[in-house]
Amino acid sequence: MYRIEKKRVLNPSVVEMEINAPLVARKARPGQFIILRVDEEGERIPLTVAGTDKEKGVVKIIFQIVGATTEKLGRLNAGDSIRDFVGPLGVPTHTDGIKKVCIVGGGVGCAIAMPVAQEFKRLGADVTSIIGFRNKELVILEDEFSECSDRLFVMTDDGSYARHGNVTVPLKEMLEAGERFDMIITIGPLIMMKFVTLTAKPFGVPVTVSMNPIMIDGTGMCGGCRLSLVRDGKRVTKFACVDGPDFNGYEVDFDEAISRGRMYFDFERRAHEEVCNLFKGV
């Protein structure tokens, strides 16, 4: 069992937890993820490592309540425990030789982008961060990004906070003004990462995207997290859990990934509603 040491509600649907998992904390690096089960009967879900404290032996996770398992997890509190917490899994984000980086995060994807930005800052890189949300109520981690960024742009789709527009607006402005980055790293909804990639393409700036397809075992055996990449005109199959989650944005078949990501939307929604109904009146 893995004890929940701290819990913090970041917005109405996003929760941060610190889990006592010393062995994972000792080895986890930015960009990697864990797989957990809330209880003995629970499903396995992947969550990106949002930070670690090796001395305290804790791993930070940030998740959005969208399905049955995240609903159950979100109802736990500090002092409660979860059944399984396995990791670190996946390949850490590449940082070697990158001196100037632009981190682009969207929604809860900012929880994944934050430790990456922090790591680049620790390594002495010049860090520009762009974070975007649908509205003011959903803004998370602004202070944390401010601390690890040389420049920070906060965007809201409806203009209810900070600057009005999506994350590609300041990115395009900088690139058109002659700004150059060694790498753009974007993490968030698939459609957002697709358009960040398309925005950067005319300027030839390398783009890394963090993919989050369906995962089950985390070892590549189930094949649920497969992705199609296009290299030299040929389609190549990769598995996000062992080959990623980071990939060259120019190679990813985003349309296929978006289509696959929608396959279980209705099932996930119904399962979430069933769990919520179980908790009514409790």
Instruction: Give me the mean pLDDT over the 90-116 stretch.
Output: 95
State how far the Cα of 233 lies from the Cα of 155, in Å rounded to an integer: 36
From 209, 242, 266, give the residue that closes a domain. Answer: 209
Average pLDDT, the chain: 91
Parent domain of 32? 2-89
- Does 59 share its domain with 72? yes
| Least-confidence region, from 24-38, 72-86, 258-272 | 258-272
| Least-confidence region, from 71-80, 100-109, 129-138, 205-214 | 205-214
**How long is the chain?**
282
Cis peptide before 245 (omega within 30 of 0): yes
Residue 183 lies in a domain: yes
Give me the sheet containing 207-210, strands edge to edge: 163-164, 151-156, 126-133, 100-106, 183-187, 207-210, 246-248
pLDDT of residue 227: 87
pLDDT in tens, 183-212: 999 999 999 999 999 999 999 999 999 998
- Does 100 share its domain with 7? no
* Position 273 pLDDT exceeds 60: no
Residue 102 lies in a domain: yes
- Does 35 share its domain with 101? no
- Does 14 share its domain with 66? yes
From 89, 121, 152, give the residue that closes a domain. Answer: 89
| Confidence band, pLDDT 50/70/90 cuts, at residue 272 | very low
Could you tell me where the DSSP H helices lie in the chain?
Answer: 22-27, 68-74, 110-122, 142-148, 168-176, 190-200, 240-243, 254-261, 265-279
Tokens of 237: 């199959």
Q: What percentage of the chain exceeds 90 in pLDDT? A: 78
Give the E-state strand segments of the chain in sequence order.
2-11, 14-20, 33-37, 45-53, 58-64, 81-82, 84-89, 100-106, 126-133, 151-156, 163-164, 183-187, 207-210, 226-231, 234-239, 246-248
- Does 97 share its domain with 187? yes
| Least-confidence region, from 12-16, 217-221, 267-271 | 267-271
pLDDT of residue 108: 92
Instruction: Give me the mean pLDDT over the 73-95 stretch.
Output: 95
Instruction: Give me the mean pLDDT over the 230-242 stretch.
Output: 90
